Structure 1
Amino acid sequence: MGTKKLHPSVEKFKLFTKSHPLILKEVRSGKKTLQDFFEEWYILGEDDPSWIKYEAEGDNKKKVENGNGEGGWMTQLGSVLQKLDVEQVQGHLQNLSAAIAAVQNLIMQFQAPAQGGKSPQPVQQKNPFSFRKD
């Protein structure tokens, strides 16, 4: 009797479950069926972060150390801050400040002729407690 040839996606899923042994543990415990896992794998793909929890414990530690785990963004932020050139950032901030000042001066120059060179008239405030005598 010959063996049946499996569909290529099923073959890939079999390889995937070998690298994620906790999937088979959940199937054996009855929490989910293998069909459920296959459908999730087919839709999400094998690179989805939700599969990390099904890897062997040693594999999870490697991912965290590489910066792909839970503490990864802090490590990445630290490395970015170490590479940051403070003097270059300071120069960019000075250029930005000068550009903003130039735009403000330009706006003030266009507003002055529109007002006719007059200072703005103070607005008279109405008394909020206007009572009439009876």
Structure 2
Amino acid sequence: MKEDYIKNTAIDPLTGEEFVPKRSNQKFASRENQIMFNNLKAAEERRAKEKTRRILNSNRKVLRTTLGSHNEVIRSHDYLLGAGLNFGFNTHRMKIDGINWICIDDHAYALIDKNTFKIKKLKG
């Protein structure tokens, strides 16, 4: 009898408590434990991405501020560095009319010569 009880128990991943599952796929002792476990996991994910997202938000702000009310502007590499653009962080890249654009959300910049970049807001 005791062996049957041991075979039919499970360990809750959140609390480590032993419980008898009511369903074959039940992993948590209660719905509250499942919710708390998933919330803790999601919070850990957000913390892991926080530093990168902060840099991306800063980069987007630099591009938005540099553009001002214009659709496109041209600025030097030194200007963008001085404004605080971190060239190592972007959200994606795309090719438009044969030009490779480095994108940060809805803004993009492209190298047009050795030390000069064109910046524009993407349509969307």
* TM-score over 0.5 for the pair: no
Q: Which structure has greater helix proportion?
A: 1
Q: Would you tell me which structure has more strand in proportion to its own residues?
A: 2
Specify which structure has the bigger relative contact order, considering alpha-carbon pairs within 8 angstroms and separated by 6 or more residues: 2
TM-score (norm: length of structure 1):
0.27
